[in-house]
């Protein structure tokens, strides 16, 4: 028998994640923070929008794109915020197409806890790259996902792409 070793999941299961202890919202960044943050897996921080990697991904390179302003719903966004947010979703997809070369994407927005929102108070899009054959029996048998690359390796590979991203004008 072989073991699937994923010790990083225990902090999530037990609710002991350092990030959740230190900040009430994983998406909120301090005023003036305009640079990536590898510890928080934040690849891009713009004037209106930020992009980060999902610490508990459904698949390799699972990204989260959120407005900087702490808002729970699309109806609260200004037109400029909406344009910038959707533009950053598009930019993130373009970057992942170049770097990870997926066969497709799941792009989604969960509004409210019953819809699956893990952080319902701060609106965010999920951008999940998909490859032919990337599903397997693990999720069916034990609610486990196999992510083939370490988050830090993905962060280091993707960071240069996001350093050139610009705010919407």
Report the alpha-carbon distance of residue 101 to residue 20 in Å, rounded.
Answer: 32
Per annotation, catalytic residue among 62, 122, 124, 126 = 124
Report the alpha-carbon distance of residue 71 to residue 55 in Å, rounded.
Answer: 21
Report the alpha-carbon distance of residue 165 to residue 46 in Å, rounded.
Answer: 8
Active site residue 124: yes
Report the alpha-carbon distance of residue 116 to residue 122 in Å, rounded.
Answer: 13
Return the active site residues. 124
């Amino acid at each position: 028998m072989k073991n699937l070793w994923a010790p990083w999941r225990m902090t999530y299961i037990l609710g002991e994640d350092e990030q959740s202890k230190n900040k009430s919202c994983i998406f909120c960044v301090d005023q003036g923070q305009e640079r990536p943050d590898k510890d928080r897996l934040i690849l891009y921080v713009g004037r209106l929008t930020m992009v980060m990697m999902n610490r508990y991904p459904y698949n390799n390179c699972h990204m989260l794109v959120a407005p900087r302003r702490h808002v729970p719903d699309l109806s609260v966004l200004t037109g400029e915020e909406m344009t910038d947010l959707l533009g950053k979703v598009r930019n993130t997809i373009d970057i992942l197409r170049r770097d990870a070369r997926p066969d497709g994407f799941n792009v989604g927005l969960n509004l409210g806890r019953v819809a699956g929102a893990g952080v319902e108070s701060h609106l965010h899009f999920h951008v999940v790259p998909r490859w032919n054959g990337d599903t397997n029996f693990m999720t069916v048998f034990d609610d486990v996902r196999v992510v083939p690359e370490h988050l830090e390796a993905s962060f280091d590979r993707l960071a240069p792409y996001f350093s050139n991203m610009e705010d919407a004008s």
